[in-house]
Amino acid sequence: MPWVAWNNAGMAVARDTGGSRNMRRTSLYGKVQGRQGMKSRMLLLAVLVLVSGAAMAQEIKVGVILPFSGIGAEFGQQTERGINLYMKLNADRMKPYTFRLIKRDEKDASGASAKVVVQELLTQDKVDILLGWIYSPNAIATAAQVTAGKVPAIITNAGTAHITTLSPNYARVSFSMWHAGYAMGEAAATQLKAKTAVVGYSDFPPGKDSLNAFRTAFEASGGKVIDEIPMGGPAAVPDMTPFFQRAKEKQPDVLFVFVPAGDHATAVTRTYAALGMKEAGIKLIGPGDITQDNKLQAMGNAAVGLTTMHHYNADLDNAENQRFVAAWKQDYGADSVPDFMAVGGYDGMAAVVHVAHAQQGKITVEGAMSALKGWTFDSPRGPISIDPETRDIVMNEYLSEVVMQGGRLVQKSISRIDAVKDPCKVLKIGPCANIPK
Amino acid sequence: MINGVDVIGMLLGGLAAGMVLFIVSVGLSVTMGLMGFANLAHGSFAMLGGYVIVLSMHRLGLGFVSALLLGFVVVALVSIPVERLLYRRLYRAAELDQVLFTIGLVFALSAAVTLLIGPENQQLVLPQVLQGQLDIGITRYRTYSLLLIVVGTLIAILLWLAFERTLIGAQIRAAVDNRRMAASLGINVDRLFTITFALGSGMAALGGGLGAEFLGLDPQYALKYLVYFLIVVAVGGLGRVSGVFSAALILGLMDFVLKKYLPKGGTLFIYVLTILLLLWRPQGLFGRAAR
């Protein structure tokens, strides 16, 4: 009768003489003790949590979603360094709050890992705000979670135009593919005097976006896109030769290329040079991904003459950028260069800090989003703001050309367009037209 | 509008792509065909070779040719203890065991390289003479592609001669056909297999270095291209240098041409082509029919 022992453990032990039964009762008794002990421990824990909760009310938990492994690990590193540099340079601006970064790996552009880590950040870590996303497919995949999780989310890279329409909780401090693509389309026709263009693009959402943006503007300005070449996916760098050979035979005035920054971009420049396309009179143009600052010097002479439209390059001539680049080199080495992803991280962290101040450290999604709408900031890329209508960034675009200066490749600014809004949303094209309120 | 110069450019581009496939895959054909071992880790040896070649150029300042030789030698030497200690135990194991072991080796090496060197792509910087274009009379074409075509052809001829016209080649073929008989004739089969394995791995290393301009080089290399290597060997037939050579050229050329004229099909073609070829000749284009 085990319950005898349960009800009256002490007596049962005293009366019993059987060895094995005795042991069982003792263990039962031990369990009862254990339960009481656990109760009091839990009480203590609850008190501790309450006390520490009061003391730590000023801590903001920031969930950071970036690729820390795989082909995108370098992108993750650039962004993370940008975030860290903001925190270091603006320690005063962050007071009285402490920002705890909880970093999670989005791994690749498949969307799968990103969904898992966003879920984790929302339900287990209970973060106050989300920051990151290098890859567009990941930001697209996690939009529903971000909406349901009721936290503000600041995108530091992922540039497919319609991403910000997928959740009212997304605000973007990076760019839309249409920013550079559309501006380049106009500039190619008007400033570079191109009549024909071939477009080569990586076959995934931002690639198609970039193609549409360029074609829309180029053809509206009187040019003609004579060929569109999908050039493999973002996961592996393909051999660009067959695609570029095809482009060369079409003999366009310009070849507009969108590929992910990094190794894809290096392959583009190399193949362009190796196939003698420059000598054939075809100008290589694109968004700044093909002249990503930290890859530029390795491209060598082949890069001279590349013409890009972008919102940032490390050679931009403004006080904020000079301070930023100098601090970067001091922390990460004289050979290290920040790029647009680093600036995305820097500005993203600035937005997080702004949200914390605007809400006195108690972040709610409604409050955060209304604080972000219309937010202005003096970024290394020039003045930026968040469009209150679309929650997307408004910023300058710079047309630049790569030149050799004192043995170094430098991006020389040719012209500037001020305060560009995402043209995809301005023109209400496709899914960009449906902006949730 | 297809004109002659474009067709020549296309053929040269396709041949160069095929040569890269050949140089990397031929070692796999050797280990899989001659030794009857399903060595999925072959691409890892190519990757190791590529890293030795690129890093010795960057950090030791070696020239391209000496770096290639170094890569060949280092990987061939490293593969000897690997064969003696690990592969040897599995020569008589079931194919599934071989596959499990070698794919495990792929993951282990990939993780090791990520840890030691980092996840980023390694850039092979070609010597100045190999960059740019070369005039070959009828047209100008990428110098490096032309070099690959020449080097690939030379390697194919040398290997063919080595297997068909030398004593050691005859011994290898004998050992594969009937190991017991070969051993009883006084051939040291164990030593022979070690040499063959080292040679195959060294070839892979060369391919990793020579192909880096087109295939890139990062820790995921072995997994990314495993399918391509297997396709080439399957289509070419196991253990045949001439078969692998022809299969690599056909696949490289077709892939290049289709990507150029129908880029929307993406990477699908090479698979469709493989299915059709293998439906037609399941033993491979040049393999012997199953007995």
The pLDDT tens digits of the residues spanning A314-342 come to 999 999 999 999 999 999 988 889 999 99
SS3 A320: helix
DSSP for residue B220: T
B106 inside domain: yes
Number of domains, chain B? 1
For residue B46, the model assigns a pLDDT of 93
Give me the residue from B125, B216, B260 closest to A237, CB to CB.
B216
Q: Is A94 on the interface with B (CB under 8 A)?
A: no
Average pLDDT of the residues of chain B: 86
User: Residue A32: which pLDDT band, with cuts at 50, 70 and 90?
Assistant: very low
B206 inside domain: yes
For residue A20, the model assigns a pLDDT of 43
B100 inside domain: yes
Q: Is B261 on the interface with A (CB under 8 A)?
A: yes
Higher pLDDT among residues A5 and B45, named by residue: B45
User: Residue A109: which pLDDT band, with cuts at 50, 70 and 90?
Assistant: confident
The CA distance from A319 to A313, in Å, is 14
For residue A210, the model assigns a pLDDT of 94
B269 inside domain: no
- For the cut 50, the answer to whether the pLDDT of residue B8 exceeds it is yes
CB A113 within 8 A of CB A61: no
- For the cut 90, the answer to whether the pLDDT of residue B133 exceeds it is no
**Among A145, A121, A125, which Cα is nearest to A66's?**
A121
- What is the span of the domain harbouring residue B210? 4-27+39-226
Q: Is A275 on the interface with B (CB under 8 A)?
A: yes
Give me the residue from A230, A266, A267 closest to B263, CB to CB.
A230
User: Are A232 and B224 within 8 A, CB to CB?
Assistant: no
Q: Which of A66, A228, A241, A271 to mutate to test the interface with B (most CBs of B within 10 A)?
A: A241
B246 inside domain: no
B156 inside domain: yes
With residues binned 3-state (H G I as helix, E B as strand, rest as coil), the percentages for chain B, rounded to 5, are: 75, 0, 25
The stretch B222-248 carries a mean pLDDT of 85
B20 inside domain: yes
Chain A residue with the nearest C-alpha to that of B141: A275
Minimal C-alpha gap between A272 and chain B (Å): 10
The DSSP bridge pattern shows strands A382-386 and A376-379 to be antiparallel
For residue A110, the model assigns a pLDDT of 87
Please state which of the ranges A7-21, A368-382, B172-186, B206-220 shows the lowest mean pLDDT.
A7-21
User: Are B266 and A203 within 8 A, CB to CB?
Assistant: yes
- pTM for the whole structure: 0.81
Dihedral angle, C-alpha B118, B121, B122, B127, nearest 10 °: -170
- For the cut 80, the answer to whether the pLDDT of residue B25 exceeds it is yes
Q: What pLDDT, in 10s, does the model give residues A264-284?
A: 888 899 899 888 899 899 999
Radius of gyration of chain A (CA): 28
B32 inside domain: no
The DSSP bridge pattern shows strands A254-258 and A283-287 to be parallel
